[in-house]
Amino acid sequence: MAEVIIVDDADAAGQVAAGLIALELDRHPALVLGVATGSTPNSTYRALAERRPDLSQLTAFALDEYVGLEPRHPQSYAEVLRREFGEPLGVPASRIRLPGQGVAPVDAGAAYERAIVEAGGIDLQILGIGTDGHVGFNEPGSSLASLTRVKTLTEQTRADNARFFDSLDDVPLHCFTQGLGTIRRARALVLLAFGAEKAEAIAGAVEGPVSSSLPGSVIQLHPNVTVIVDEAAAGRLANGDYYRYAWQNRPEWAIDASL
Ligand code: F6R
């Protein structure tokens, strides 16, 4: 069962997640960190930057990227990660890897899986979740064993992401995404979600049946998962009271660096 931590807001969640990352960094400074984009992880990146950790040996692997955008396009995930993660934390672009970099799209999936293995595997993967339960760009129906590959974005996701572009037509049709099987191979997962619009997806991911209909439910197949949510995103959890009780009464030695 995932460790579910319910906090007041995104800033508090960022503090807890940054604490977990700092703990991992203490254990092995050459951490391989899986990084997500979107608005959810930003409070974690900010809280981590405040701690001024030594990230000189860290390598980051992105969850996903659009197909066909120039790396310097303001909405390419290469650029978003440079802006939101690399710059505040002092991680140069050369140590932020993305699927599709320097290879033909047809070879991108296998090349990315190889690069992750060569780096020693992802130690800790940060995840957000979509309102339909997607993680990465693995939309409902994605195989729970899938690896990094090219996917066609759903019309819904293109419409959701159109707010970042001049028009819907500018949103790419295709993306590269780590698969659900790739995510399962990371040694630890930290899933964050905020706001009532995520409540259904979080309840399904944490407590619902494991199903490709709700890709986030893949976390239930992983032995080391921490879910950090605000009260609104926790609103549909059947066992919310237990999660609060367990977090308040955790053993003193557990997750001590996170607070
Ligand atoms: C981001 C990603 C997506 C987002 C999800 C939530 O790399 O893969 O799965 O995590 O769409 O987006 P936000 O955080 O903007 O609500």
Quick: pLDDT tens for 26-59.
999 999 999 999 999 999 999 999 999 999 999 9
Q: What is the mean pLDDT of residues 203-231?
A: 98
Residue nearest to atom 13 of ligand 1 (CA): 38
pLDDT, tens digit (0-9, with 9 covering 90-100), for 197-212: 999 999 999 999 999 9
What pLDDT sits at residue 71? 87
Using the mean position of ligand 1's atoms as its centre, give its distance from the Cα of residue 135 in Å.
Answer: 7
Confidence of residue 256 (pLDDT cuts 50, 70, 90): low
Residue 64 CB–ligand 1 contact under 6 Å = yes
98 lines ligand 1 (CB under 6 A): no
17 CB less than 6 Å from ligand 1?
Answer: no
pLDDT band at residue 139 under the 50/70/90 scheme: very high
254: left (phi over 0), alpha (psi -120 to 50) or beta: beta
Q: CB under 8 Å, gap of 24 or more: what pairs does 162-168 form?
A: 164/75, 165/75
Q: Hey, whose CA ends up nearest to atom 10 of ligand 1?
A: 128
Nearest residue (CA) to ligand 1, atom 2: 136
CB of residue 34 inside a 6 A radius of ligand 1:
no
| Whether the CB of 136 sits within 6 Å of ligand 1 | yes
pLDDT of residue 79: 97
pLDDT the model gives residue 257: 46
Considering the candidates 65, 84, 113, 134, report the single residue annotated as catalytic: 134
From the CA of 136, give the closest atom in ligand 1: 8
pLDDT surpasses 70 at 94? yes
Report the pLDDT averaged over residues 232-254: 91
Round to whole Å and give the CA distance between 96 and 23: 21
The Cα–Cα gap between 158 and 171 comes to 6
79 in active site: no
**pLDDT band at residue 83, thresholds of 50, 70 and 90?**
very high
Averaged pLDDT score across all residues of the chain: 95
- Does ligand 1 come within 6 angstroms of the Cβ of 56? no
Answer whether residue 66 shows pLDDT above 50. yes
Distance 154 CA to ligand 1 centre (A): 14
Q: How much of the chain, in percent, has pLDDT values that exceed 70?
A: 97
Provide the angle, in degrees to the nearest 10, between the axes of the packed helices 10-27 and 42-50. 60
Nearest Cα neighbor of 99 from 73, 125, 68, 128 is 68
Residue 115 predicted with pLDDT over 80: yes
pLDDT for 2: 84
Q: Do residues 105 and 138 make contact, with C-beta atoms less than 8 angstroms apart?
A: no
Interstrand relation of 124-127 and 32-35 (parallel, antiparallel or unpaired): parallel
Q: Give which of 253, 251, 245 is closest to 4, Cα–Cα.
A: 245
Assess whether pLDDT exceeds 60 at residue 233: yes
**Catalytic, out of 64, 113, 123, 230:** 64
Q: Are 36 and 98 in contact (CB under 8 A)?
A: no
